[in-house]
Chains A and B, each alone.
Chain A
Amino acid sequence: MAPMRTSTKVMAAGTAVKPMTAEAAEEIAAQDFASIVESHRPQIFRFLLASLRDVDLAETLTQECFLKAHRNWNRFRGDSSAMTWLMRIAINLQKDHWRNRRLRFWRHTQANAIGVDEASDWLPNGERSAEQQIVAREQVAQVWKIVDGLSARQRTVFLLRYVEDRELSEIALATGLSEGTVKAHLSRALARVRAELRGTR
């Protein structure tokens, strides 16, 4: 009976939002899994990379996410979008990873995670002047530091909103939180960003 319970748990939050139409659900269900992987893999990888700041670990968890999704693909009923479903799996894998890391502290699993300063080096030049480029890099480093200091739940909500551009309802579905709680987390995280950035002005 365990698989039934898992399926119910994954889809339980679907009641919080307006369910998709039957046509859309059928369309999603009919999609080939390979095309789902192709279209959503970069986004899942990006979210995990931003959460963990470890390229190898992000790749591993992305693989695990799609492996898990593939095993449960026939249970996906299309109550939410495939992306939200995959994001929920990725968030659960990330939680499991941190739980295991706490238990197996001697494994040094974050040995490959790069520092906040190094992460902020990735900024395309665009059409900015050198001065604007420096200011932008400083801002990015500042935001990375703030993200680093957030709680795991706040960080997830923050990254889903401001990196993945997810709607509040989607974030609520993916995290299993209510929209009100998501708003509260976002508000606190933004307040910290604002305070930090104003403090460095």
Chain B
Amino acid sequence: MSRRDKLAGEIDDPMVAGALENFKVSVDAWSDAAYNRPPTVVRTARHNWRLAATWALGCMLAAGSLAGGLYERHQRQELARIEASKAAINAAEQKAAQVHAAPEKPVKAATVTKRQPTAVKKAANENEDLLASVDSDVSRQVPAAMEPLAQMMDSNGTK
């Protein structure tokens, strides 16, 4: 007596018997497939995935730390360059200030004239020459657009 016949004898409705038969066949197929599946597949896949993730994270960390170090070095070099240029500008400004401050020492020069009149006169002459040359340089540096005004100033000066 087959199982189907047995079920048909027990269950009067053939559709219910058929459904239960299909249900059993389905469970058997699923169970056989699950029972015979290789047990290490999931574990291996998870292991590989973890290994890959660890490697990726390690590489990211190494690349990040390297990039950070390079950026820091670049920043320091940039700061040093800026500091150096600032120092150079300050030095140039101090030099220019010293040059401008030189004519403002007539009192000292006067005291010196009492002791060394020729040297003082010589220094005064040098100063006058320097101022004259600066004036001429400045007048030479008047832009073209300001030329009419400069000429007017000259003409006023001559009048």
Chain A nearest CB: distance from B38 CB in Å? Answer: 13
Partner of B23 from A49, A162, A194 at Cβ < 8 Å: A162
Q: Which residue of B lies closest to A122 (CB)?
A: B30
The verdict on B45 contacting chain A, using a C-beta distance below 8 Å, is no
Partner of A163 from B13, B19, B24, B35 at Cβ < 8 Å: B24
Residues of B in contact, count (CB < 8 Å): 24
How far, in whole Å, are A7 and B67 apart by their CA atoms in the complex?
69
How far, in whole Å, are A123 and B22 apart by their CA atoms in the complex?
8
The verdict on B29 contacting chain A, using a C-beta distance below 8 Å, is yes
B26 touches A123 (CB 8 A): yes
Q: Which residue of A lies closest to B34 (CB)?
A: A55
A42-B31 contact in complex given A123-B25, A190-B11, C-beta closer than 8 Å = yes
Which residues A49-107 have CB closer than 8 A to chain B?
Answer: 49-50, 55, 58
A140-B23 contact in complex given A165-B3, A197-B16, C-beta closer than 8 Å = yes
How far, in whole Å, are A92 and B159 apart by their CA atoms in the complex?
127
Q: Which residue of B lies closest to A164 (CB)?
A: B24
The verdict on B33 contacting chain A, using a C-beta distance below 8 Å, is yes
Q: Which residue of B lies closest to A133 (CB)?
A: B22
A123 contacts which chain B residues (CB < 8 A)?
22, 25-26, 29
Q: List 19 A-B contacts (CB under 8 A).
A: A45-B31, A46-B31, A49-B34, A50-B31, A55-B37, A58-B34, A119-B30, A122-B30, A123-B29, A140-B19, A140-B26, A143-B20, A143-B23, A163-B28, A190-B11, A193-B20, A194-B13, A194-B16, A201-B15
Q: Residues of A at under 8 Å CB distance from B?
A: 42, 45-46, 49-50, 55, 58, 119-120, 122-124, 126, 136, 139-140, 142-144, 162-163, 165, 190, 193-194, 197-198, 201
Q: Residues of B at under 8 Å CB distance from A?
A: 3, 7, 11, 13, 15-16, 18-20, 22-35, 37
